[in-house]
Chains A and B, each alone.
Chain A
Amino acid sequence: MCIKLPLLLCASLCINFSYVYGKEPDKSPFQVSVRDTSKLSIKKKLIKEAGAAVSSYKLAEIPAVSLQQYLKGQVPGLNIQEPSGEPGTVQNMFLRGISSPLISPADVLQQQPLVVLDGIPLIGEHPFAYDIQLYNYNRIGTATNLLTNIDMNNIEEIKVLRDLSAVAMYGPNAANGVIVLTSKKAGKIRRISINSYFGFAPRPNVATLNASYENAFRKQFYDRYTANGRYSDEDIYPQYLSDSSSTIYNGPSNWTDNYYRNAMVHSISADLSGGSERANFRFSGGNMRNQGIADSTGLDRYNVMFNINMKPLEWLTASLMINANRLERARNRNLRDRYAQTNYIPSLAMPLAPNKEVYQQYVSQFNNGFDNNVNTMLDGYGKLMVNLKNLQISSGIAVDYNEANRDIFFTKPVMEGNNYASNYFGYNQRLLFENVISYSKQFGAAHHLKLIGGQVIQWDLSKYNYGYGYRGVNDLIKLNLIDNELTAKSFPANLLFKFLDKTSHNLFSVYGHGSYEFKDKYSLSLLLRGDASSNAQPTSRWFFSPVLSAGWNVKNDLLSNQNNISALNLRLSAGRLGKLNAFDNYGQGPQYTSNIGYTGNVTLPGFNGYSTLSRPYNSGWVGYGIPWAYTDQVNFGIDFGINNDRLQGSLNVYTKTDKNQLLRIPAYAEYGYKAAIEPGLSVNNKGAELSLSYAPFQAGNSGFSWTSSFNISYNANKLLALPGGLNEMVIGNSLLRVGEAVDRYWLLSNEGIYNSVNDIPVSNGTTMKYTGTTLQPGDPKWKDQNGDNEIDNKDKTLYGHSQPVSVGGFNNDFKLGKWSLSMNFYFNLGRSVLNQQMANSLDFINREGSNAIESVKEITFWEKRGNRNDYPLYNPWSNVIPYRIDQDLFVENASFLKMRTLSVGYDLTSALGKGKMKINSLYIYAMANNLFTLTQYKGLDPELVSYTGYDTGYGMPLPRTYTLGLKMNL
């Protein structure tokens, strides 16, 4: 009932929209109250904080697929991870560092900044689906990057809000920062524009290997550590390597012909806008196709966007926007991802062969099935604004809906004779209803006061239906048919597994914002907000928080006569904002769930055919008394312009502390729990962001101009507190220690190799051990940090950072007459990577020995990546696992500098002459993307690393793309 009422009202409002129009169509009701303190006054144009806003004009030329790719290196403070070059895969963004340790994909999802498109806060994927997954490499469903739904040609401006004074208006959704996208608006003049590019990404050149090479490599170990080519009686040499007569493994390694390709990319979009003062519109449509250079991957996007504004009465505004996208993604054929999807690991004894014909055979068997991934996304708003003299009332609804469909059929030959079908349908939906009253008044010449009161209700719902089945009758029936009684006919009923899950979250917010300005010199504003979340516990539903900010326009106040200094602005803000729980069950307190799965079988449905309930022993104890988490931030900024803004710059210094966050800590084992979800995690991020732009040559008589802009940010995080007052805690392979950063690796220090028994330290007659196992010649020499003659976790120390300490970009734009040239560089500094791929490749004994998912050998096993001979020759059979990943042997400096784009353009407008058709402007350009990388990292690419900092080798290479494009206005 309660929800129905506002829905009804919303509906009636929507109908009303068609009557109405207003003065400021640019301002959505969701934006109207938002002010970035970097722009102190809306009336007078003060200097913009350089770098915070990004023009989309140049970005649209880049053959990028996702918002993340567009923004890489463009904005200070924004770190973007692109763990794979496969088009449309998930990428991560972290604004001003990470606010909690990144342990699981759910942690990453919960730290993504909010993306707001024309006032619509976009809803992302919900992490709850990971609960039913045995392996979490990909979320079930399409696992498509939902921020590939932005056609940059529709976007007028991108603003990245980092300062709480600007962010807090968006409420707790925005606690990780906000990326505000403003679309191009309808105009009064009829206009058609066409934007397009075509291009290709050449196939990468890689060195390939075959079984003989692998044999030669392994022989060194057998020569050194075995007497007769066999370490023990039970030792087994893999069959695919031992059969030297087999040409499919020992012959030419030419699989790359069928794996890599020259990929084509294109984008075409056109828009039409027009109308009159009282009613106008913009309509655009486009298609983008981006093929991956490997494994027949790719993404297709079809986009339609529609804006309409109407103004039937002088004091009323109505506008409506709809943005619809369809994404079709062709996914990779990785074995690991397939086995993770099917929860079934076939025999791994015979890996894919490096021979082209054999590989092609496999690919065609694979292609007899299907793996269709389609996302349909729709977002839109309708808004109504009433303008009285000093008072403005606005109401609006916004809807964001995205749904995902994945249909899979894997044929018998690729699944050792058991076919597999799966269907996934899931959606995330957000409905937002916002009302704002604002009052502004000028008192005399000097005083300006503005008061805003607002209220927002947000309903989020995420849901999926998921099912899979094994062993269908044959490879021709690829669906699970059911008869009238809903009995499965084509797949055996006992091998059909079905999952339904749903979670909703409601957020109710009220806020008041007052700002006062004195003579365009001083400003002061205060925001007070209260937020109630259904995911908070009943005893602490509400969270109240203030944000105070002040600005001083030094130029207007003290330096108005100084001509050299064209702008100088100081800003200070401090405040607090609540952070949401992603999971509704945390709001319940102690609870019961279905929980009887075990290692390797997490979704066991029941006992004796009955469902069961017990405490959440596996996911973790949830108690009462969980308070809201929140972030406290202080930001100080200076914006300046010198010599008529020839040199502009902006510097921000911040400290931000995220407190009371939940952390899953290992606890209460004697009460059955693997962990407890406890509040009390507190992480501080400190940093500085600088952006500068300089125009050494401004367009003058010579017609030559050069603008150079540079941004760099520095961020350091520090763990301030752990739940329960703990000082340190081990989670998996990492150590969290109060006072240290949360993104560090916890590793043994490798100091070489023990060549003989005499090298191994002996203390009190006991030879040094590694966790109870006596060290032998051929084992690594690990540093005994605490001197207890035993190597264990206590001898691990913290190394490096998985997140970059510094990120930035460097752009140069040159113009000479009608020619233009631009270059764009991107860099990461102070970041390390653990080369897991190398460790796996050296640890071949353990990997051959088990049939686990970590042992899967992809076709890229036959590609030379890095140099294995740089590593010591340990005894791979040793029980201490000499090539274990948790040692500094595999940590590498992954700082890099990349040239992201180089483009040359020519303005053809005047060359067109006066034909029949009037062309307002025509611009053509050629662009090269991802030209080179400078790095010390020895693996494939320092960017192709997951959020944990482990390079597993699963990242598809980032393509080097060459494109030709045009932009035309009619």
Chain B
Amino acid sequence: MKRNIKLMAVLLLFILIGSCKKITDVQSTRAVGEVNMWNKLEDTRVALLGIYGLTRAAMVDNNAHWIYGDLRGKQFVSTSRQDLKAVTDNRLKASYQTLDELSNWRRWYAVINAANIFLERVNDVKKADKRYTVNNMEVDIAQARFLRAFAYFYMVRVWGDVPLIISSHDGEFENKTQNSGAEVLAWAERELVAVMDILPNKYGENDPKQPGLYYGENLGRWTGSLARRVSAYAVLAHIAAWQGEYPKVATYTTKMINEAGSAEIGLTSVDNLTSSGEFFSAKRHTHLLGFNFTFQHGEGGMSGHIEELTLAFPFVNKAIPDIYMPKDSILKVFNEKKDTRFGQDTLGRPTTDRYFYNFDARYPIFSKIKVIMGGSASTSTSDAKFSFFSSVALFTRLEDVYLLRAEANSVLGDRQAAINDLNVIRSNRGLPNYAEATNGLVIDAIFKERKRELMGEGHYWYDLIRYNKIRHNNSAFTELINSGGIYWPVAEQLLQQNKLLTQNLYWK
């Protein structure tokens, strides 16, 4: 007995030392290691949607899309936030954390790196998983390239020159210098041209380019959430407009408008546009290029939506909005009585509160976009207010493309074609057809219409630049364009990390 127990104890010891070499091999449940990725078609799905998610994050981080687009051109002004005041005053190097982060392009390079890795690794999945069809892969690759090109275009508009990096350099990162914006745009255009004919106009519903279901789901699931051929045309048109190549703008906008029907895209009525649960909520075919927040899946939040900046009581429980449009500017922009978005009757009373709620108060609330939760904004004072938003991060819609074509035709001298497109939008908003006597020059009327129609969608600053490039009637702004002051400074942190980068001339 005595000896047995001793023996047992000694044995135990040896058994334990001898066994269990694998004790220290533990698979993390918190991160997917390299070996467990790129093996099956679910991996390409999560990775591809990851690029979309990163693009959405890049657009809305710190409400960048609206601060770049709507606020910088002083379309709106800040009530009490000092950092936003610095933006409207064009003091973009002022020392606020928001401005540091808005000057930082890292979040766009996350999109680009994710797309680069996707393009480098997607073949591994093709080899490993027989379920992954050639068509599925081609459409996936086209989307990854689309998103990468879109990211570069977005960055060029904001910073001018940016490093063009088109491979992941995984683990062997090297610093790169900036490429000229023109070079980057030319590359982006080539990329989009290369993929535009591969992209379908519908996913999951027997589009000739993408037959059958897409990742096992039908059109209901993919409605308006992925990049389509029409989206590629729209982005190409925007790139061309930014380059000033208006013939191309006319071409791509026409292609887009012609295929709108096959993508189930039509013009949006004013009620649809401004109702809480309609156009800006959820995902829709009409989101020509939009990165949606699907509320039904818990996507959305307090931040990353224009509502955070523009809404106040009675939409949300906030005394005054962060930014607002002063009354005189509103009246200057909406100077036509019959406008269904906003107008004044003969007694000076607002005819509608679709765009501006509580116009008579000191701070009219810009209420065009108000997707609270899934779209249940209410002005009732007895309802509990909840600042949880889910409006789509929208880049463009059909109305934008019509106005872009009008702009192109106007620049190219086809005045009547420009007026026709302009009138499509005007009539949809209750306005009479364009008349030079009341509306001024066609080009001015087009840009004014853009301002009214696309207000709060992140367009105004870029429109202002294109307008001034066409018209040259504002010497201060022309000077800003010539000196590179239309761009944002490169964040100090980026310059610290990568000594090959140079600060934009204007901000040196």
A interface vs B, CB < 8 Å? Answer: 2-3, 5-6, 9, 13, 16, 128, 234-236, 239, 313, 315-316, 343-347, 349, 384, 386, 388, 393, 395, 412, 416-418, 433, 435, 437, 455, 457, 470-471, 494-497, 501-508, 510, 532-534, 536, 538, 541, 583-585, 587-593, 595-601, 604-617, 621, 623-624, 666-674, 730, 770-773, 792-793, 845-846, 848-851, 877, 879-881, 884
Contact = CB atoms under 8 A, between A and B. Distances in A.
B25 A534 contact: yes
Given A615-B113, A672-B113, A773-B95, A596 B53 contact: yes
B20 interface: yes
A345 to B, nearest CB: 7
Contact of B19 (A2, A316, A587, A851): A2
B72 to A, nearest CB: 16
Given A349-B319, A608-B225, A670-B109, A416 B384 contact: yes
Given A584-B26, A591-B34, A9 B16 contact: yes
Contact of A596 (B12, B57, B176, B298): B57
Contact of B304 (A393, A495, A600): A600
B471 to A, nearest CB: 30
A536 B25 CA distance: 10
Given A606-B297, A669-B106, A772-B91, A585 B171 contact: no
B32 A591 contact: yes
B168 A671 contact: yes
A349 B79 CA distance: 14
B77 A234 contact: yes
A591 B16 contact: no
Residue in A592, A611, A616, A771 whose Cβ sees the most chain B Cβ within 10 Å: A592
Residue in B169, B302, B493 whose Cβ sees the most chain A Cβ within 10 Å: B302
B373 interface: yes
Residue in B56, B222, B297 whose Cβ sees the most chain A Cβ within 10 Å: B297
Interface residues of B, number: 114
A504 B112 CA distance: 33
A670 B296 CA distance: 34
22 contacts: A2-B19, A128-B30, A417-B386, A435-B16, A437-B13, A495-B298, A501-B30, A583-B30, A589-B34, A601-B303, A607-B56, A613-B32, A613-B37, A615-B117, A617-B114, A669-B106, A670-B163, A673-B110, A772-B94, A773-B93, A851-B318, A879-B94
B62 A599 contact: yes
A672 B106 contact: yes
Contacts of A773: 91, 93-95
Interface in B43-81: 43, 45-47, 49-54, 56-58, 60-62, 77-81
A380 to B, nearest CB: 20
Contacts of A596: 50, 53-54, 56-57
A604 B301 contact: yes
B380 to A, nearest CB: 12
B317 interface: yes
A417 B85 CA distance: 31
Contacts of B385: 416-418
Interface string B114-138: 1001000000000000000000000
B24 A533 contact: yes
B31 A236 contact: no
Contacts of A793: 492
Interface of B: 2, 5-6, 9-10, 12-13, 15-17, 19-20, 22-26, 28-34, 37, 43, 45-47, 49-54, 56-58, 60-62, 77-82, 85-86, 91, 93-96, 101, 104-107, 109-114, 117, 163, 165, 168-171, 173, 175-176, 221-222, 225-226, 283, 291-292, 294-299, 301-304, 316-320, 322, 373-374, 383-388, 489, 492-494, 496-498, 507
A585 B79 contact: no
B498 A669 contact: yes
A5 B20 CA distance: 9
B109 A584 contact: no
Contacts of A506: 23-24, 26
A773 B90 CA distance: 11
Contact of A672 (B2, B20, B112): B112
A600 B301 contact: yes
B49 A606 contact: yes
Nearest to A674: B106
Given A508-B20, A532-B24, A617-B106, 15 more contacts: A384-B9, A435-B16, A508-B23, A593-B31, A596-B56, A598-B58, A608-B52, A613-B32, A613-B47, A615-B110, A669-B498, A671-B109, A730-B496, A773-B91, A773-B93
A616 B283 CA distance: 27
B111 A672 contact: yes
A672 B110 contact: yes
B384 A418 contact: yes
Top 6 A-B pairs, shortest CB-CB distance: A417-B384, A600-B303, A596-B53, A772-B93, A672-B110, A612-B50
Contact of A771 (B10, B95, B386): B95
Nearest to B491: A669
Contacts of B46: 610-613
Contacts, number: 341
B81 A849 contact: yes
A600 B49 contact: no
Contacts of B114: 614-615, 617, 672
Contacts of B494: 669-670
B41 to A, nearest CB: 13
Given A592-B31, A617-B110, A388 B6 contact: yes
Contact of A879 (B10, B91, B507): B91
B225 A395 contact: no
Contact of A433 (B2, B16, B60, B79): B16
Residue in B37, B53, B80, B383 whose Cβ sees the most chain A Cβ within 10 Å: B53
A614 B55 CA distance: 12
A610 B109 contact: no
Given A316-B5, A608-B225, A614 B51 contact: yes
Contacts of B94: 771-773, 879-880
A495 B113 contact: no
A535 B6 CA distance: 36
Contacts of B374: 494
B506 to A, nearest CB: 11
Given A671-B173, A851-B318, A879-B86, A457 B95 contact: no
Nearest to A611: B46
A225 to B, nearest CB: 14
B62 to A, nearest CB: 5
B16 A457 contact: yes
Given A386-B5, A598-B61, A773-B93, A592 B49 contact: no
Contacts of B301: 600-601, 604
Contacts of B388: 344, 470, 495
Contact of B319 (A239, A393, A457, A770): A239
B31 A604 contact: no
Contacts of B26: 504-506, 534, 584, 587
Contacts of B9: 384, 386, 393, 395
A530 to B, nearest CB: 12
Contacts of A674: 106
A751 B176 CA distance: 41
Nearest to B86: A879
A615 B46 CA distance: 12
B30 A584 contact: yes
Contacts of B33: 588-591
A849 B20 CA distance: 61
A864 B337 CA distance: 56
Nearest to B11: A9
A2 B22 contact: yes
Contact of A601 (B37, B80, B302): B302
Nearest to A535: B26
